[in-house]
A and B are shown apart, each in its own frame.
Chain A
Amino acid sequence: MSRLDPVFARSRAEGRAALIGYLPAGYPTVDGSAERLTAMIDSGCDIVEVGVPYSDPVMDGPTVQAAADLALRGGFRLRDLFRVVEQVSSAGGHAVVMTYWNPVHRYGVDRFARDLAAAGGLGVITPDLIPDEGADWIAAAAEHDLDRIFLVAPSSSTERIATTTAATTGFLYAAAVMGVTGARDRVGVAASGLVARARECTDLPIAVGLGVRSGDQAAEIAGFADAVVVGSAFVSRAGEVAKLRELAEELADGVRRPMVPSR
């Protein structure tokens, strides 16, 4: 049982997709990021992804890279992550962490899992850790009751989708496009096929991310996925909390009008 199950049970009961919003911890400041993540939840995000700023984010485009750089130059430390997660969780939000693996490896995988769980975090999305390399994380996540949210991509073979979903808990993250993060005009063509292939292997909720920036795109994805992940679009509006709220509201509206009936 995942502690995220009730979130998806509710969105399913409401005939819509869940909305997941991403912002790096420490951007623009540590407290500023907690405030913004909380505002995103108030304005319609069902789950937030708290990003860990990292020096070499190979899965990220310029928007997220620049935000991570700014956070690191501002003195972000890994221990600040737990403070942000704690503030978001104690405000009633559901928080998962999105992190490249080396910071966790360096901190100590079990120690990271313990501290994240203590802060109220619910799981970790791991863009550069595949289950094949993740035995220690899989054990630590089980020990501390955290979800391990692995990714599948349009290039994933059927066998890899099967082994990846078997190692995943909470929800599966489907990368909508072959490419890095960043808002795009079109998403979803490859994504719907990928979601359909993944559904053959798993009953887990499936979240689709990479590139979404508008309510209409959210509605399109809500037509075939259980959750819509939005990152860069939030990051580029993080300068003003009011703009963040506006986007969250637009997207929350989008996930409530799925373009085709979901299954």
Chain B
Amino acid sequence: MTSETHTDPGRDQHQHSEHDPEHGHFGPYGGRYLPEALIGAMDELAAVYEKARLDPEFIAEFTGLLRDYAGRPSLLTEAPRFAEHAGGARIFLKREDLNHTGSHKINNVLGQALLTKRMGKTRVIAETGAGQHGVATATACALMGLECVVYMGEVDTQRQALNVARMRLLGAEVIPVTTGSRTLKDAINEALRDWVANVDTTHYLLGTAAGAHPFPMMVRNFHKVIGQEARAQIVDQAGRLPDAVTACVGGGSNAIGMFHGFIDDPSVRLVGFEPGGRGSEPGEHGATLSEGSPGMLHGALSYLLQDEDGQTIEAYSISAGLDYPGVGPEHAWLKDTGRAEYRPVTDAEAMDAFQLLSRTEGIIPAIESAHALAGTLRLGRELGPDGLIVVCLSGRGDKDMDTAAKYFGFMES
């Protein structure tokens, strides 16, 4: 490991230097930094998942839902007019925006909702930032007859009001969270508090590849389908492996699902784009891997935006789904080992790409995904005209119309 190169005092103290992802240890990262009261639930979840993932009946149910309900496989669409702005590199979009509910989030949600039923639990709680995970969770709960409560930071309920209405229409209770920064981090805190009190009946359906074991490994596995499909499709459509695959990184679920399809192909660069917000000062961005340092949040050791005393620094991004000061532990490991690269993309760059894709391809991306698109434009220019990139278009932008209309001044008559 590279601990000598870091100056953080906390850096050299990790006892689990063994790399054991199946047990939640990604090099020194991951683990279970949670109250003892929740460890039983984590053990139960891990055990039920371990059984289910090998059970042909579960696999058939899951893949059946992905196909017949979510609409998989999602398309791989070449974006030639958009790519003209990327120095001539070829760019393909992995169309997670076309999934039912409009983002990649549905993959993980269907998997965990099936597990909830297997555990005999009747109530699901979830956090949401952009509202996409909340909508996907409310959808799966409606489908499977589960009670659903979604915690959402009050700030996010305002900037994603349409998704709040969607969740309520689907029968979920949406609870605005008014503590801390009133965004995703605080919604997760509230969900954890609910979970401790109701763990007998309730599954916490975490929406990203972060948190304590087994969440990072399990959520990644439910999203692996993104990368697996993309690999087969690009080989089929372009005749070769790409030079790079890219994705935006909030908690890291769409990125890790995408990356895993190519992780054993050493020639394929894995590049994640983080929310660079308004600048690199603390509190102005959510670029956890680029600007953060190792620390614990929400149950895992990973990179974290924190101050000298280990207090979490609130993230900022124009995109609610990327506005998170933590990141999944596997990304921390991929960064340290150099297998993946992570770069910040500013609000302004993301919004430019948001508009550009809309106007060149007639596809309105989620602002989260627009971060990946903006980074991909830059990467394309670096690779030159022979470059070939697959970018994960993690979601569609309908939910962002209010933010975009204000940003671009479309409301002015």
Judged by a CB distance under 8 angstroms, whether A56 is at the interface is yes
Judged by a CB distance under 8 angstroms, whether A150 is at the interface is yes
Judged by a CB distance under 8 angstroms, whether B338 is at the interface is no
Q: Which of B26-62 contact A (CB under 8 A)?
A: 31-41, 43
* Alpha-carbon distance between A129 and B15 when the two chains are bound, in angstroms: 13
Total number of B residues with any Cβ neighbor in A under 8 Å = 42
* Alpha-carbon distance between A153 and B185 when the two chains are bound, in angstroms: 25
In the assembled complex, the CB of B197 is this many whole angstroms from the nearest CB of chain A, namely 4
Task: Determine the chain A residues whose CB is within 8 A of the CB of B298 once the complex forms.
Answer: 56, 58
Task: Determine the chain B residues whose CB is within 8 A of the CB of A156 once the complex forms.
Answer: 36-37, 39-40
Is A56's CB under 8 angstroms from B312's CB?
yes
Is B35's CB under 8 angstroms from A102's CB?
no
Given contacts A56-B297, A59-B196, A108-B10, A151 and B32 within 8 Å (CB-CB) = no
In the assembled complex, the CB of B186 is this many whole angstroms from the nearest CB of chain A, namely 8
Q: Mask for A33-62, Cβ within 8 A of B = 1, else 0?
A: 000000000000000000000111111010
Judged by a CB distance under 8 angstroms, whether A106 is at the interface is yes
Is B32's CB under 8 angstroms from A102's CB?
no
Task: Determine the chain B residues whose CB is within 8 A of the CB of A152 once the complex forms.
Answer: 36
CB-nearest residue of chain B relative to A108?
A: B9
Judged by a CB distance under 8 angstroms, whether B311 is at the interface is yes
Task: Determine the chain B residues whose CB is within 8 A of the CB of A56 once the complex forms.
Answer: 180, 185, 189, 297-298, 312
Is A108's CB under 8 angstroms from B311's CB?
no
Which of B216-224, B302-310, B363-371 sits within the interface?
B302-310
Task: Determine the chain A residues whose CB is within 8 A of the CB of B9 once the complex forms.
Answer: 106-108, 111
Is A102's CB under 8 angstroms from B297's CB?
yes
Judged by a CB distance under 8 angstroms, whether A212 is at the interface is no
Judged by a CB distance under 8 angstroms, whether A109 is at the interface is yes
Is B296's CB under 8 angstroms from A101's CB?
yes
Total number of A residues with any Cβ neighbor in B under 8 Å = 44
CB-nearest residue of chain B relative to A155?
A: B40
Task: Determine the chain B residues whose CB is within 8 A of the CB of A180 once the complex forms.
Answer: 193, 196-197
Judged by a CB distance under 8 angstroms, whether A185 is at the interface is no
Is A58's CB under 8 angstroms from B193's CB?
yes
Judged by a CB distance under 8 angstroms, whether A91 is at the interface is no
* Alpha-carbon distance between A109 and B38 when the two chains are bound, in angstroms: 24
Is A55's CB under 8 angstroms from B180's CB?
yes
Task: Determine the chain B residues whose CB is within 8 A of the CB of A192 once the complex forms.
Answer: none
Is B40's CB under 8 angstroms from A157's CB?
yes
Given contacts A160-B39, A178-B196, A105 and B310 within 8 Å (CB-CB) = yes
Q: Mask for B260-300, Cβ within 8 A of A = 1, else 0?
A: 00000000000000000000000000000000000111100
Judged by a CB distance under 8 angstroms, whether A128 is at the interface is yes
Which of A132-140, A214-222, A232-240 sits within the interface?
A132-140
Is A78's CB under 8 angstroms from B310's CB?
yes
Is B35's CB under 8 angstroms from A106's CB?
no
Is A151's CB under 8 angstroms from B40's CB?
no
Given contacts A78-B309, A111-B9, A180-B196, A102 and B296 within 8 Å (CB-CB) = yes
Judged by a CB distance under 8 angstroms, whether A175 is at the interface is yes
* Alpha-carbon distance between A175 and B196 when the two chains are bound, in angstroms: 11
Is B37's CB under 8 angstroms from A178's CB?
yes
* Alpha-carbon distance between A136 and B199 when the two chains are bound, in angstroms: 30
* Alpha-carbon distance between A211 and B368 when the two chains are bound, in angstroms: 41
Is A130's CB under 8 angstroms from B306's CB?
no
Is A107's CB under 8 angstroms from B310's CB?
yes
Task: Determine the chain B residues whose CB is within 8 A of the CB of A72 once the complex forms.
Answer: 311
Task: Determine the chain A residues whose CB is within 8 A of the CB of B32 once the complex forms.
Answer: 130, 132-133
* Alpha-carbon distance between A179 and B193 when the two chains are bound, in angstroms: 7
CB-nearest residue of chain A relative to B14?
A: A136
CB-nearest residue of chain A relative to B313?
A: A55
CB-nearest residue of chain A relative to B43?
A: A157
CB-nearest residue of chain B relative to A81?
A: B309
Using a CB–CB cutoff of 8 Å, the interface residues on chain A facing chain B are 54-59, 61, 65, 72, 77-78, 101-111, 127-130, 132-133, 135-136, 150-157, 160, 164, 175, 178-180
Question: Which 8 residue pairs across A and B have the least CB separation, nearest first?
Answer: A106-B310, A108-B9, A153-B37, A135-B15, A103-B310, A179-B197, A155-B40, A105-B10
Inter-chain pairs besides A102-B312, A156-B37, 5 sampled, C-beta below 8 Å: A106-B10, A108-B10, A128-B33, A136-B14, A175-B37
- Can you spell out 29 A-B residue pairs with CB atoms less than 8 angstroms apart? A57-B189, A59-B193, A61-B193, A78-B309, A102-B33, A104-B310, A105-B10, A105-B310, A106-B295, A106-B306, A107-B9, A109-B10, A110-B13, A111-B9, A128-B34, A128-B296, A130-B32, A130-B34, A153-B35, A155-B37, A155-B40, A155-B41, A156-B37, A157-B43, A160-B39, A164-B36, A178-B200, A180-B193, A180-B197
